[in-house]
Each structure stands twice: as structure tokens, then as C-alpha cells.
Amino acid sequence: MIEYNEKSRVFNITNGSISYMIYLNSEGILETIYFGKAIAPLTDVSALRKSNEWHDSSFTYDNVNKTEYKYSDGFKNNSAPLEIGSHGKYDKRHAPIVIKQANGSYETDFRYDSFVIYKCIKPLTELPHVRKGNFETIEFICKEKESNVYLHLYISIDLDKDIIIKSFKIENKEKNNIKILRAESLQLDLPSDKYDLIHFHGRWQNERNCVEEPLIDGIKEISSNYGRSSHEENPLVIIKEKETNNEYGVAIGLNLIYSGNFKFRAHVTSYKQTHITYGMNDEDFEWELKSGECFETPQAVISYSYNGIEKVSQNFHSFILYNLLSEKNKLPKRIPFNSWEGCFFDFDTKTVTDYIDDGAKIGTELFVLDDGWFGKRNLDNAGLGDWVVNKEKIDLHKIINHCKSKGIAFGIWFEPEMINYDSDLYRSHPEFVLSNADNKTISCIRHQFHLDFSNADVIENIYNQMKAFLDEYEIDYIKWDCNRIICEHYSNKYPSEKQGEIYHRVILGYYKLLSRICDEYPNILIEGCASGGGRFDLGTLFYTPQIWASDESDPAVRMEINYNTSIGYPLSTIGAHVNASPITNYKTKAILALFGTYGYEMNPNKLTKEEIDSLSEIADVYHKYHKSVIEEGTLYHLLDPNKSNWMAMQSVSIDKSVSLCVCMNRKKEWDRYRFLKLKGLKKDSKYLNSYDNTIQTGEYLMNIGINMSNEWCNEFDCRLIIITEQK
């Protein structure tokens, strides 16, 4: 429910569980006065706002009436918690929106004009956004003090769970064009300096390490300028009160429905409050907004919990599954076999059909031919951009027919945003690449360039090539890869004054092509990918319901990648395969992959009978329980590998009748007391657990736990425990 009380001047945005309250002060500035567990609407905010009056020596000089005045109701304009800070004024905190007026002024100061309440959430026009759900929205319409530039602030609350969505729209009602220099999605001012920050740092093959650190005086930035959300930092961040742990205390998760450069900034100010801004990165950003035009920022998603980090996580999971993912998530989920790690570029028709035959023995239901099937692609130095089958290398019709004759679906790999310099496309269109103004030297990563997806002709070309292929071959699945970052971001298509728009326009181009392919081929499941998990974000998930999480499938490292990814993203979105890594046995690797999408990626001709049996055993578990428990169930993080020798996760079906639990150790461990307490079961029901085959009540399993003492555990051994309700 969203209400405005004219007397108290308080907007109360609540779902009965949390409240977000905004006070409209007499200067027309929106002050964030409360964000937390639901409380009765505040009728008198004077005590709450008292802090704003301290040590205030700031006045405004009215140059027309030649008088100095203080803000009438005690508003302290450099430290009050605000919804929209000003820029180029006394408030030196980072403003979420900065515009440069036609006269060259940077001053940006939005004041309240009016508001509208909607019983829904509004979609964005060009960007991925919340698709559906039980939302209410308030739109604040604010006007820049000195010009006719308007800022629309949207705050939506999910009435079913503790999720808030924020975004802005800038509208130029001036006669002249203006420049937007910063277009972030939110400001969130928290009233203390006692927070820790959790963020997900990494690199290729080692994505999303969970880093927890105190926010201390000064500025902490988590950002990407890689042209994609990046391996280096994920857009997921969590701010928690110091004493908060997995189950207790206040935690606020933030994420952004966007796949490009982003910037999260937490500023612990001199006044010991925490000023957060979050949205698109303003590095090299400069957007020309013509008279009459609007600019929408991506939507930021806030997950609030007063019951620890687990609740932040569960809110995000439910939000992604029910409010963000497309209908594609309802397509059949089949066990894939991916060719990449088995044969890389080195295959012919026979290699592939042999793989299909051997893959069938371990339950493969979808065969995916990865990189190497097109153009002159026998190594990574050629072919990208030429999306035609390399008929000298393979007979793709024969391969697909072979698959279909065995009842196996067929999938293919694309890297639509990329081009090798050794390709027909580059020879005919060298201007299609992102480059620099003189076009003399271009960064070349993996022998490839980034296509200029800000250019509609480029998108049209790639679209036509993909369409010709997809119309000729019967394809059930696409792996959509993106194997390099953006370095030079100069577009030949645009004039000099538009070059600050390119980073963002390239992302808009990515969304345009992806949405076109999604819409035209509703029955093709698409999995996102970017050198493993370099674009694991909500913008991509809007289109592709799963994303390849990492090029590292060695379970020792993957254990943490999957666990940490699942803090912000549901297990069903985490692309995970069993590979040939020698660190541990196939069963262990399969159990780990089961807590993701599950699939295979190795040379299947080399599997022993024993290995085939253990993979088939887990494939059976997949068929029985994956959908109801892993894809749709509730996830609990039982033991945190970032903090202990063990990793344990448990997922419980919605009706609580079945649960799967994985626990995996890092170092050899035996001869010790070890009880694994479960979560989320029905207290009074009886459950059989597959670990010791005893039947216990939910209450017993949640309070005493499964007795795993004295079990020998080798490095990276793991156990899968199936817990089933006994009626």
C-alpha cells in the first residue's frame, strides 16, 4: 500500500512487512526518513529529523531580495538522508543524476512537483525490467529548480515479498538539448556508519568470490567499466548491520537489471551516515537528451531483510523466478551434453555423432555443439562473424538428424557480438567494430574485436545471419557467448558529441538482438555466457533463464562459485556441468552440478563403466527431484565455504515433502563430531534421510541434525542426502 498523509507530509510505502517512508520538506526536497521493518505511518517527524539541524551554518543567499536565509524547516542540505541529492551545490555527496544544461551549467537540483500512484509496476521501454508481479508504484515528478528538466523517481513495492524497485526517468522539456552526465538508478541514505559490505569479486575461472568487509569512513566503490557486468565484480551487493548473520539481523541486498558498466558507491560521510548510490557507471558517459526526449535508467532491485542474509537471498530468488524470468523458463529443461571441454575445436561429423551416442548412456537429452562449427573456425583466431556452417568440417544436418533419431534435442553456440579480424564479415565491413577515432590500433583479445552493437546495421547483419541458420536447422537451445570486454568504445556510426553514449548503446543493441531472437524463436531455450560467468546479471536473466556460471568446473573452485552465486541468484539459473577435472570422482562432481542446471562436458568415450553408472545414478535423481526441489524449491545455505571447511546447501520443495542436501568438504576430515542441522522441513512430519536411512521428525532433523560424525571425508568429497517425507 502506498499512501500520502498531507498533514504529516509523509509518503508511506509499505507491504505490511517493511516500510519505506519519505518526507516532503518545505523546500520540495524528498527526505528518506525510514526504511525498515513495517511500522505505523509516522505522523510527527520532527524528532526524527532533529539530526538534520545539528551544527548547521549553511544559509542560502537570495540575490534578488538581497537576503540570507536558512531552510525553513531545519533541513540540513549537506547531510540529510535524501532520495535525490543535488549536484553543484552545498551537498557534496555523490548525486545520482547529473545534467549539464545548454548554458553549460552543471547545477542539478530537483524539487518535488507532484506524484502519481499506480497499482502495478511500469515496464521500461528499451531496457529489461520487472515483467510481472503484485506491485504498487509511486512516481514522484520533480522539476529541476532552474530549468524545465524533469526527473521522475519510481519506487515500486512488492506486496508479496520484501522487494523494492527504484529507477529514474529524465525528461527534457527545455527548448534546448541537454547532456546527461550521470544517470544512476538510486540513492539510498542510511542513518548510520555501522555496516558491512558483501560483494562478489573475481576473475575468469574464479568468479564471485564472496568478500565481506566493513564500510569505513570514506568511499567504497564496486563497479565495472568492462562494457559488461564483468567477472571482476558482480552487480550483486549486500549491506548488512554489523551483528547480522545468515539468520538474524538487518541486511539489504542490491542488484541492477542491467548488463553493462555499473557503479555502486557507499560513502560513509563525515557525519557518520552511509550514502549509497547505484546504477550505470558514469565513466565516459555523456548522453545527449534532445528537447522533448526522455532517458530511462535501469531498474535497481532492493531486497530487504530483518531476518538475516538468507532472507535477502530468498527474496532475490523468488523475485527472479516469478517477476523477472521470461516464459522461456517454462521450456523443457533437458540434461545437456556440451562438446566444448571434450573436443574443443577439434571435431568432425563422426566425433560429434560418437559423442552423442556415448552421451546418451549418461542420460543426455540435449546435445550442444559449442564453438568451432562455423566459418573458418578451427582455432580461436578466425571465423567469428561468419555464422554459416563450415561444411568442410561437419555435416550439420546429419548430426542433427542423428540426435533427433535418438530423441535427443540439439543446441548450438553463438557469439553474436564478436568478430575475428580473419573473417569474411571483417573483410567486407571493417567499420563494424568498436575502435578508436583514427582506427589505427585496436585491442585484440582472443584474436577478436567487439562488434559495434550501437550500430543498427551491425545488428541487422548478425540478425539476418542467425535467422538464416535458425530457419534452416532445427535448434532447441542456444548458448549465447561473449568472450571479450569492451576496450576502445568509439563508434564510426556516431558523431563526436555522441561518443559518450556508446557503452550504453552497445548494451541496448545486445538487448535488441537478444529480444528479437527470443521473440521469434519462443521454443529455443537460450543460455547466457561470457567467458564463463562474465555477464551473470539480471539484465541477461530477463532474456535467458540460465547463465553459464564459470569456465571453471573443477569442483574445488566450483563449489565456492556456485555457493556464492546462489546467494543472489536461484539454483535453476546457475549453468553447471560435470567435467573431466581429476580433482575428484564423477559422483562428487555430479552432485555439485545437480545444485545448478546439471549437464555434462567431457570426452564421453573415455568414461569407464563405473563412471557411467555413477553419472546415470545422479541423472535419475535429476529426473525425480530437480524440478520440484532445485528449480522451484526454497534454498538454505547451511554451511558457508567462505567461513568453514564445509559447504552445505539444502533445497526444499514448496510443499516441504522432499529436500535435497549437498555437503562437501575442502580438506580431509574424519574422526570428529559432525551434526548437520537441516532447515525448512515440517516440524511434525517424519522424514527418511538417505544418509543413514533413519526416519526422524522434521523437528529432530532441524534441531539435532543428521549425525555425520566419524565419517571419513577425503578432499572435496561430497555427500548428497535425499530427505523424503513418510506419510
Residue nearer to ligand GLA on the CB measure, 184 or 552: 552
Is 483 an interacting residue with respect to ligand GLA (CB under 6 A)? yes
Q: SS3 for 556?
A: helix
For residue 143, the cross-strand partners are: 111, 150
Which of the 8 DSSP states describes residue 211?
E
Residue nearer to ligand GLA on the CB measure, 109 or 481: 481
Residue nearer to ligand GLA on the CB measure, 361 or 446: 446
In the complex, the smallest distance separating the C-beta of residue 551 from ligand GLA, rounded to whole angstroms, is 5
Residue nearer to ligand GLA on the CB measure, 358 or 551: 551
The site string for ligand GLA over 144-183 (x = CB under 6 A, - otherwise) reads: ----------------------------------------
In the complex, the smallest distance separating the C-beta of residue 229 from ligand GLA, rounded to whole angstroms, is 15
Residue tagged 538487518 (cell numbers): 250
What are the two backbone dihedrals, phi and then psi, of residue 18, each rounded to the nearest 5 degrees?
-125, 155
CB 497 within 8 A of CB 545: no
What span, in angstroms and rounded, lies between the C-alpha atoms of 564 and 199? 10
Q: Select from 251-259, 524-532, 580-588, 630-638 the region that touches ligand GLA (CB under 6 A).
A: 524-532
Residue nearer to ligand GLA on the CB measure, 173 or 376: 376
Residue whose CB is nearest to ligand GLA in the complex, by number: 371
Residue nearer to ligand GLA on the CB measure, 355 or 636: 355
CB 483 within 8 A of CB 418: yes
Residue nearer to ligand GLA on the CB measure, 535 or 637: 535
Residue nearer to ligand GLA on the CB measure, 347 or 413: 413
DSSP string, 349-384: HHHHHHHHHHHHTTT--EEEE-SSSBTT-SSTTB-T
In the complex, the smallest distance separating the C-beta of residue 386 from ligand GLA, rounded to whole angstroms, is 15
Q: Select from 88-96, 504-512, 525-533, 692-700 the region that touches ligand GLA (CB under 6 A).
A: 525-533
In the complex, the smallest distance separating the C-beta of residue 608 from ligand GLA, rounded to whole angstroms, is 25
In the complex, the smallest distance separating the C-beta of residue 317 from ligand GLA, rounded to whole angstroms, is 24
What span, in angstroms and rounded, lies between the C-alpha atoms of 181 and 282? 7
CB 377 within 8 A of CB 390: yes
**177, three cell numbers:** 538539448
Q: Which amino acid type is present at position 480?
A: W
CB 603 within 8 A of CB 346: no
In the complex, the smallest distance separating the C-beta of residue 529 from ligand GLA, rounded to whole angstroms, is 5
Of positions 251, 382, 529, 661, contacts ligand GLA by CB under 6 A = 529
Is 531 an interacting residue with respect to ligand GLA (CB under 6 A)? yes
Is 207 an interacting residue with respect to ligand GLA (CB under 6 A)? no
Q: What contacts 496, CB < 8 A, 6 or more positions away?
A: none
Q: SS3 for 625?
A: helix
Q: Select from 15-23, 304-312, 529-537, 698-706 the region that touches ligand GLA (CB under 6 A).
A: 529-537
Angle between helices 586-594 and 609-625 (to 10 degrees): 20
Helices (H), 657-720: 698-703
In the complex, the smallest distance separating the C-beta of residue 377 from ligand GLA, rounded to whole angstroms, is 9
Residue nearer to ligand GLA on the CB measure, 340 or 469: 340
CA dihedral (43, 47, 48, 54) positive or negative? positive
Q: What is the dihedral of CA 449, 506, 181, 168, to 10 degrees?
A: -150
Residues 356-385 that bind ligand GLA (CB under 6 A): 370-371
Residues 550-569 that bind ligand GLA (CB under 6 A): 551
Of positions 195, 548, 600, 622, contacts ligand GLA by CB under 6 A = 548
Q: What is the dihedral of CA 507, 531, 473, 344, to 10 degrees?
A: 160
Beta strands in 262-307 (DSSP E): 262-268, 274-280, 287-289, 294-296, 300-305
**709, three cell numbers:** 560424525
CB atoms inside a 10 Å sphere around CB 185: 26
Nearest to 259 by CA among 12, 508, 434, 494: 508
Residue nearer to ligand GLA on the CB measure, 461 or 531: 531
Residue nearer to ligand GLA on the CB measure, 96 or 528: 528
Is 481 an interacting residue with respect to ligand GLA (CB under 6 A)? yes
CB atoms inside a 10 Å sphere around CB 89: 16
Residue nearer to ligand GLA on the CB measure, 184 or 417: 417
In the complex, the smallest distance separating the C-beta of residue 575 from ligand GLA, rounded to whole angstroms, is 9
**677, three cell numbers:** 542441522
Q: Select from 14-22, 70-78, 526-534, 658-666 the region that touches ligand GLA (CB under 6 A).
A: 526-534
Is 417 an interacting residue with respect to ligand GLA (CB under 6 A)? no
Q: Is 617 exposed, middle or buried (0-12, 13-18, 19+ CB in 10 A)?
A: middle
What span, in angstroms and rounded, lies between the C-alpha atoms of 304 and 308? 9
In the complex, the smallest distance separating the C-beta of residue 599 from ligand GLA, rounded to whole angstroms, is 11
Which of the 8 DSSP states describes residue 511?
H
Of positions 81, 279, 532, 698, contacts ligand GLA by CB under 6 A = 532
In the complex, the smallest distance separating the C-beta of residue 125 from ligand GLA, rounded to whole angstroms, is 31
Residue nearer to ligand GLA on the CB measure, 23 or 340: 340
Which residues are at the interface with ligand GLA (CB under 6 A)? 340, 370-371, 413, 481, 483, 529, 531-532, 548, 551
